Amino acid sequence: MIKKGKSLSFIKRCRKRLRDVVKVKENMWIVKGRPSLGDWYSAYIVVYIEEKKRYMCSCQSPERAFSGKRRKELCSHVGAVILYNMVHRNEHAY
């Protein structure tokens, strides 16, 4: 287990994904998968669950809940969506 430098590379991965984020509708986004970032699928669906106030990603599927370490951690797909929302929120001000 290598923890060192994890958060920085996490942010870098999220930033790389930023251009791959497409907003589908309110509280739903699609993030294109990138094999170079360790993605298995060509696209991931991220949704924001308002009543739980949290993001869910299709890479955090229940059947993989106990096999992967990804579930508890914020995945970089969700990270990219959060970045995307930070960038695009300001656009409404113009």
Task: Give residues in contact with Zn ion (CB under 5 A).
Answer: 57, 59, 75, 77
Residue with tokens 């958060």: 7
Residues 78 and 70: their CA atoms lie apart, in Å, by 11
Between 14 and 75, CB nearer to Zn ion: 75
Nearest residue (CB) to Zn ion, 42 versus 90? 42
- Give min distance, CB of 59 to Zn ion, in A: 3
- Which residue number, 40 or 94, has a Cβ lying nearer to Zn ion? 40
Q: How far is CA 6 from CA 73, 84, 85, in A?
A: 12, 21, 23
Write out the DSSP string of 46-84.
EEEETTTTEEEETTS-GGGTTT-STTTSPPHHHHHHHHH
- Least separation in angstroms between CB 26 and Zn ion: 19
Question: From the CB of 86, what's the least distance to Zn ion, in Å?
Answer: 18
